[in-house]
Structure 1
Amino acid sequence: MSYAAVPSPDPGPPPARRKRGRAVLWGGLAVTAVVVAATAVLLTGALAVGPTETTNAAQALPGSVAGTGETAGVGGTPGTSPSPGSQPGASASASAAAKPPAAPPQQATPKGGWIPVDKAAWQRQVAAYQARKVDPVPGGVATIPEFRADCTYSHRLADDPIVFPGLAGASHMHSFFGNKAVDAGTTAGDLTRFTATTCKPVQDRSSYWVPTLYDAATKKPVEPTGFRVYYRSIRTNSTGMMPIPAGLRMIAGDAKKRVPTPRGAHGQFYCAFYGPGDLDGVARSGNGNWPICDPKSYATLHYMLQYPDCWDGKNLDSPDHKKHVAYGTDKGCPASHPVRIPSLTFDITYGVKGTSQGYYLSSDPTGRTASSMHGDAFLMWDQDAMNKRTKNCVLQRRQCDNDGYQN
């Protein structure tokens, strides 16, 4: 069952929150999830769409280039310097320093560019998608347009194959989920060849990563205990929905953002819970940036991150890793990004309740805010599995679990 209602990514102040969640079961562990009209959940990077919208798949010229927002530096984990030859699965040692070290030193971001989609491969995928018939819907399936992948933590590296391709140790520390073979040199072809994954279903060969969270008191990493990726329609209709092309890369959020995250702020971590409770926690860390969850409840720190739902139909990546995708509206996608695709939502659970000392992200070890939280998605599904789920679940607006239709 779906356990988080995601508010619209349209810019603007957060509406009033509900104070009640509902129970869910994730990976055999009881975790809480929040149903809210709109929360102080992170939905950073939401882009306003242009005035002209369309729901067809006509191609348009890509937009202009912008900066990336990723923090560079050798040895992204405070107090560590991973070697260029670090292998996936390697863990960074924790620093014993009394104070969090400064952010990794800035260095020039390597010049990126537009990565064009293989037009022939995309047309084959489109043809197969259009030819696929909708499977019969079992009884009792909810009318929620989504499918999902549940992943577990894989490894930790100061690598980023989207922002710093081929530059081992050039990024701040990231926690990776999904494809187990990912490092700085990973390409789309590698995701196809090396299929070992921590995700269910195994047909999802993608890699997902976020900045590593650290306990401010111990300087030790705090890895997620649950990582679910929803693929869904975030609109009131699924008109023109198409599958995600193999090899699409996207970033949501802003690694350079340095804004306090007090109670009620956008971009904060929040407490997911059973029954009545406070999303902002019953208390805050000393700097006010991190919630402390009710010790008498099942509530733990939680984070949600939503991605765009429109693609330009031409490029698998762009220089800032955002220009090739955009947010649409209920009316459709902007003319510059005419292909409507499922929107990813990272739903992340950390098995901690918060402390007075709080936490920090590898992307902001000195400011210790949550505002630099961001996520990367390097997408590579078995194409038939992607096509089937997009048509059965998202286009037909039926809720699916990891294996497809949910009974």
Structure 2
Amino acid sequence: MKRTTLYTALASALLLPSLYAHAGPQAQVVCAYNHTLGDDAIMMYGHANQAMLHDFFGNTHTDAFSDYASLRKQPETTCDNKADGSAYWAPSMRLPDGTVVQPAYQKTYYQASNVDQYPLNPFPAGLALLAGDHHGSAPNSRITFLCGNGKGYTNKIGEVCGLRKAKDAVQFNIGIQFPNCWDGIHLKPHHGMANATYDVKGQCPSGYPVKIPTVNMNVAYVLHDITSLDTAKAQLSLDPVMNGDAREERWGSLYTAHADFLNGWYEDSARFMTELCMNQSMDCGTNVAYSYSKALANVWVSSETPTTPAPAPQTLLVQDNWKNGGRTRNSETMSLVKFKIPALPEGQDPSQFKYRVRIYGGKVEANGADQIFFYPASNDWDPATVTWKKRPSCSYNSDAILYLNNSREYRMLDVDKAVRKALAAGKTEISWYIGGDRQGNHYQFNPANSKESLVLMVVGYKKTPEI
């Protein structure tokens, strides 16, 4: 079973230079190497030990029989974001002396461009993508090489990598950019048929109309046992010659570099990455939620308008002053927010997950940064009728503190302790008052119905690999 026609189709697609600084929104994961098998669940599904040697990252159970259901059923991962149960694999590398080496990790950037004009769609469950050409014999603008001590990224082999620093290691990276326009029909490519191609200046061609995040995978080899690496002489695994069950390995130049991606992101996470993050021109970084809920309700209440409700605010307002006679002697404006509590993942270590609030806004005055407070509130309030005089009780013992300046931007607030306490008490919802800095300054935040949203999210992290 060969990939020749498919990879040739991908390699000859309309190409854009890959050696430019990415200026659009993105997210990222780092995934340690886990295992090596002669398996390929995309092009040789069910044929164990019949494919070229591949190094696997991410989902620790990936083999020839992997699909979305199996990845989500056993989501253990080497990636630093536990919402990513995806499988990533690339051919094994052999040094010029014949030694087959293991990679250290891979770092994948999920990227986008021109999202205002051409927004992203979430990865469909189980989408499989291929990139590169395992019959390649010349530079490919979707494949890059990098020496850790060298001159930067290049599409050409031949550079000799030296030590990153004295008495350290040789680091060599291979970057693989995947297609980002899906045909909307086929979850997997087939022999002679690609299910995805590349955009042109952010726009997808008519035969592949569904724009998805660009998967930019960078495989890193950290080699402690050598002092230099001639990239013209390093090799990558190719399809073996099979004599019954016996394998005769074959090898090609670095121009045969390619990789496979089998989406295993939790569906809420894939949606969060695109709709609540990258399509809003936000860099998610590592803050892609495992699950989340938008605010069920949000209002502001003020002692200056004690009987006036504000059920659909355009802006959430906050201001108070505890000086000059104390809080009760001065005007006070607080915002009330209520969330449904998203559940923690079943069957996973709860200590590796945290609850956070993501909120967009900042201080009005440009007189430096200050801290504001999230005070616990009861859930028995209705945004249509709540007023300052008919507000739920408020404890001025804060659950969390947010330190912020006058930049209007996304803010992340750790509320893990408070949410777990609410869960332990059998609650399914949680509310907070957002109170000011007690100095009289003003703060404004975007409400839940804005494009920036207002969300309570579950995020899960592991220790990233040592690099």
- Which residue pairs with 2:134 in the alignment? 255
CA distance in 2, matches of 1:324, 1:272: 34
- Which residue pairs with 2:380 in the alignment? none
Indicate the SS of the match to 1:192.
helix
Q: Which amino acid aligns with 1:402?
A: T
Q: Which of 148, 166, 184 is the equivalent residue of 1:272?
A: 148
Q: Which of 241, 247, 264 is the equivalent residue of 1:380?
A: 264
Q: Confirm whether residue 361 of structure 1 aligns to residue 236 of structure 2.
A: yes
CA distance in 2, matches of 1:406, 1:167: 47
Q: Confirm whether residue 229 of structure 1 aligns to residue 104 of structure 2.
A: no
Q: Which of 62, 66, 83 is the equivalent residue of 1:203?
A: 83
Percent identity over the alignment is 27
Q: Which amino acid aligns with 2:35?
A: H
Q: Which of 209, 212, 221 is the equivalent residue of 1:350?
A: 221
Unaligned runs of 5+ in 1: 1-43, 50-141, 282-287
TM-score between both structures, scaled by the size of structure 1: 0.57
Q: Which of 7, 11, 18 is the equivalent residue of 1:45?
A: 11
User: Which aligned pairs between 1:45-64 and structure 2 lie closer than 5 A?
Assistant: 45=11, 47-48=13-14
Indicate the SS of the match to 1:183.
coil
Query: Does structure 1 conserve the Cα–Cα contact (< 8 Å) formed by 2:34 and 2:56?
Result: yes
Query: Does structure 1 conserve the Cα–Cα contact (< 8 Å) formed by 2:11 and 2:132?
Result: yes
CA drift of 1:289 comes to 4.5
- Which residue pairs with 1:28 in the alignment? none
CA distance in 2, matches of 1:324, 1:48: 15
* Count of residue pairs the alignment pairs up: 259
CA distance in 2, matches of 1:47, 1:176: 26
- Which residue pairs with 2:206 in the alignment? 335
CA distance in 2, matches of 1:326, 1:266: 12
User: Which aligned pairs between 1:150-169 and structure 2 lie closer than 5 A?
Assistant: 150-169=30-49
CA distance in 2, matches of 1:160, 1:367: 17
- Which residue pairs with 1:243 in the alignment? 122
CA distance in 2, matches of 1:249, 1:331: 21
- Which residue pairs with 2:387 in the alignment? none
Q: Which amino acid aligns with 1:45?
A: A
TM-score between both structures, scaled by the size of structure 2: 0.50
Aligned-residue RMSD, C-alpha: 3.1
Query: Does structure 1 conserve the Cα–Cα contact (< 8 Å) formed by 2:43 and 2:189?
Result: no
CA distance in 2, matches of 1:342, 1:293: 31
User: Which aligned pairs between 1:82-121 and structure 2 lie closer than 5 A?
Assistant: none
CA distance in 1, matches of 2:130, 2:141: 21
CA distance in 1, matches of 2:262, 2:56: 11
CA distance in 2, matches of 1:399, 1:216: 40
CA drift of 1:344 comes to 0.3
CA distance in 1, matches of 2:142, 2:24: 26
- Structure 1, residues 149-186: CA drift from partner, whole Å, max 9, x if none? 21000100001111111111111100000111111122
Unaligned runs of 5+ in 2: 1-9, 16-21, 240-248, 289-409, 413-467
Distance 1:331 1:231, change over 3 A: closer
- Which residue pairs with 1:36 in the alignment? none
Indicate the SS of the match to 2:126.
coil
In our comparison, the structure showing a higher alpha carbon Rg is: 2
Considering fraction of residues, name the structure with more strand: 2
CA drift of 1:328 comes to 1.4
Q: Which amino acid aligns with 1:278?
A: K
- Which residue pairs with 1:314 in the alignment? 185
Q: Confirm whether residue 181 of structure 1 aligns to residue 55 of structure 2.
A: no
Q: Confirm whether residue 392 of structure 1 aligns to residue 273 of structure 2.
A: no
Distance 1:295 1:229, change over 3 A: closer
CA drift of 1:326 comes to 1.4
Q: Confirm whether residue 302 of structure 1 aligns to residue 173 of structure 2.
A: yes
User: Which aligned pairs between 1:20-35 and structure 2 lie closer than 5 A?
Assistant: none
